[in-house]
Structure 1
Amino acid sequence: MSFDALPIPTLTPAFDVTVDLAAPEVHGVTSAGTRRVVPILGGRITGEVEADLLPGGADWQVIRPDGTIEVDARYSARTDQGELLLLHASGLRTGAPEVLERLSRGDDVDPHEYEFRTVVRVETSSPRLAHLQRALFLASAERRASAVLYRAHRVG
């Protein structure tokens, strides 16, 4: 079999997420690197699934020496029908040092000036939403002063 014969993944828009954030908690340099925790205050999911993000999640970040941020966000959401979802987004935010500095100050920066991509996995006990657990989502994101916005695409 040839590698060229393997299917090429496709991307289909699935849902949009707005994540409202508290100020980062800087833990300093640990054995993993510079550790920062960003509490999640709430937010909203719209599209293939509609739900409110619940407060209490967080993004456990590691900041690399070059300024690249390793994202490891975990948070819950509740649909209007009361179904619970657990979302796990992991990825990277990187760019030129001056762009990353502007982002760290809380400036609004055009999302085309840096790369912010995550892989999103969904977990739920809801039979109606079980199909979300069988999918992998790739998201392109934008960091704002007190929020992250992303569009998740189903990888097919």
Structure 2
Amino acid sequence: MNPPVPGLEPAFDVAVRLGPLEDHGMTRAGHRRIVPIAGGRVTGGVDAEILPGGADWQLVRADGAIEIDGRYSARTADGDLLFLHATGVRSGRPEVLEALLRGDAVPPEEYYFRTTLRIETSSARLAHLEHAVFVASCVRSADTVAYRAYRVT
């Protein structure tokens, strides 16, 4: 018996506002950068406000690629809380990654930026989000990361 071939269903869109990058330099784990999350919105299949206080704890690899480890909370209009955990990679040619770091506008097809998402919630209404795998295609601008999340079927 063959397992089913997974597909992708659009699930929701996210726009995260970023604070100033904190470059911690070389640590025992590698070149650590922390990007504070200042707010934002989740729209579409889920509507919520992204709360300030999360961050993306990045590691810059020797090859220039960035390992993403974003963790942040969002609150729906009904007061339900979501914890979103995005892990992935952003990579590209060195000059493209440098342009992104400067905040230059770079077409998303010039670099690779993909994440997986895990969601936690205590809301019975939103519990279905904890029972799915999500992947996202992301775009980085000067002070925002935007992505569309897809539910893997």
Where on the TM-score scale, by shorter chain, does this alignment land: which range?
over 0.9
Residue 93 of structure 1 aligns with which residue? Answer: 90
Q: 1:7 aligned to 4, 8, 26, which one? A: 4
1:48-59 equivalences under 5 Å are: 48-59=45-56
Output one character per residue of 1:91-146: Cα deviation in whole Å (capped at 9) or x when no partner: 00001111111111111110011100000111000000000000110000000000
Output one character per residue of 1:29-58: Cα deviation in whole Å (capped at 9) or x when no partner: 011110000000000000111000000000
Runs of 4+ residues over 6 Å off in structure 1: none
* Number of residue-to-residue matches in the alignment: 153
Residue 149 of structure 2 aligns with which residue? Answer: 152
Residue 117 of structure 1 aligns with which residue? Answer: 114
Percent pairwise identity: 63
Using structure 1 for the length normalisation, give the TM-score: 0.96
1:8-23 equivalences under 5 Å are: 8-23=5-20
Residue 140 of structure 1 aligns with which residue? Answer: 137
Report the CA distance between 1:6 and its aligned residue.
2.6
Q: Secondary structure at the match of 1:128?
A: coil
Q: 1:29 aligned to 26, 29, 51, which one? A: 26
CA RMSD of aligned residues (A): 0.7
